[in-house]
Structure 1
Amino acid sequence: MIAYPLVWVAMAVCSVSIGRAMNHYGQRVREHWEQHRPEALAALEDPERFFTEAGEELATTIATLSAQLAGPDLPGEMYLEKVARLRNAKATATEIAWAQSGLLQVEASREEWESDTQQTLLGLQEWAWRMQAQLEGLEQTTFSFEETAAEYLLPVPFLKALVAAASPYEFLNEPQNRAVWDRSVEARWAAFQSR
């Protein structure tokens, strides 16, 4: 009879000295980062704390969202129907929480990122031609300089000069303008890596 409380006290002391245990969500994130995001993992000051807190946050988000998606018990709902409703809600909540967390992203190489990004030099040239048509009333689009500046990380005056140019292609190939474009690519690459 005395051994049971002593074991319990020993377990409590061990858990306090070790700290919070990482849940399975945190372990999954850690394993993913070890395999797919080694640079981001190496940059963490306290990986154990980061993954423990990430797992706890995911668990809380999933629990809250599951309850919202499941809703209240339905009148006349049978036991197995309720179990299915709750499981479906948790599965959907889990999928949403993972997607919103961004924790399972894969580090891409610079080449992969450049081939996947929508903000290409050709895309900007196309935007300039269509923006010219919009300003002349020839195209019913809703482009804006501000949105494109935010998307491409380019200054609005630069975009206005691009649209006013006789040839966006030639404008973008002028050395000083190409340098502005190259800085925007570097800034977008840095932003992508820090996500």
Structure 2
Amino acid sequence: MNQYGTRIEEHWRRVAPTQYRQIEDPETYFTELGEEMLTVVDQLQQTLAGPDAEGESYLEKVGRLNAARKQAEEVAWENLVTVQPEQTDAEARENWAATQPSLDSLADWAEATRDGADWAKPIEMVSEEWMLDRTFLQHLVEQEQPYTFLLNSTETLQQSEAARFARWKASTPQ
């Protein structure tokens, strides 16, 4: 395996260990990927370096070729090393939580349901979405101050959040 294959394999191990473990034959995979990168780098370096300039000194030529090689390596790396870094569970949870509806929306739903608003979702649908027991939601609807009721129901809401995150994680490709 050449230096590029080794570097790419180390990168995969570090940023995407789960995906790395799914590769059936890492030695062959990264050897071939390293060879492909070498070919791309060599071809691109020649193009980027261009022909020798008239009157160019040895050191100027070495500098031009080295700069072209580094640029070719950067381009090849960007195009060939396509593995996406994996998120930690904490990062995934944080990103997921940022997309979830707020407690305000649940309190607003309860008030709308209590007031008979025609836009309010059925309790069964809210139960499924929030992974909350229908009895809990019925108590929420009956409250004069639904938001206060929710603030005092931290354990139930934490269980709901954990269950919804687990459902999301199970349905999301890793």
TM-score by length of 2: 0.52
Contact kept? 1:29, 1:103, Cα under 8 Å: no
> Which stretch shifts more, 27-36 or 64-73?
27-36
Residue 65 (structure 1) aligned to one of 18, 21, 44: 44
Alignment of 1:103-122 (within 5 A): 103=82, 105-113=84-92, 115=94, 120=99
CA RMSD of aligned residues (A): 3.4
Cα distance, 1:100 vs structure 2: 2.1
Q: Which residue of 2 aligns with 1:83?
A: 62
Cα distance, 1:186 vs structure 2: 6.4
User: Take 1:188 and 1:99, find their aligned partners in 2: how far apart are those partners?
Assistant: 29
Residue 49 (structure 1) aligned to one of 13, 16, 28: 28
TM-score by length of 1: 0.47
Runs of 4+ in 1 over 6 A off after TM superposition: 185-188
Alignment of 1:147-166 (within 5 A): none
Cα distance, 1:60 vs structure 2: 1.0
- Greater relative contact order, per chain length (Cα 8 Å cut-off, separation 6+): 2
Runs (5+) with no aligned partner, structure 2: 102-119, 131-164
Cα shift readout 1:56-98 (whole Å, capped 9, x = no counterpart)? 1111111111111111111221111111000000011111211
User: Take 1:88 and 1:188, find their aligned partners in 2: how far apart are those partners?
Assistant: 45
Contact kept? 1:65, 1:93, Cα under 8 Å: yes
Q: Percent identity?
A: 40
Q: Which residue of 2 aligns with 1:39?
A: 18
Contact kept? 2:12, 2:20, Cα under 8 Å: yes
Larger Rg: 2
Residues 31/61 of structure 1: CA separation in 2 closer, same or farther (3 Å cut) = same
Contact kept? 1:27, 1:55, Cα under 8 Å: yes
Contact kept? 1:29, 1:104, Cα under 8 Å: no
Runs (5+) with no aligned partner, structure 1: 1-21, 123-169
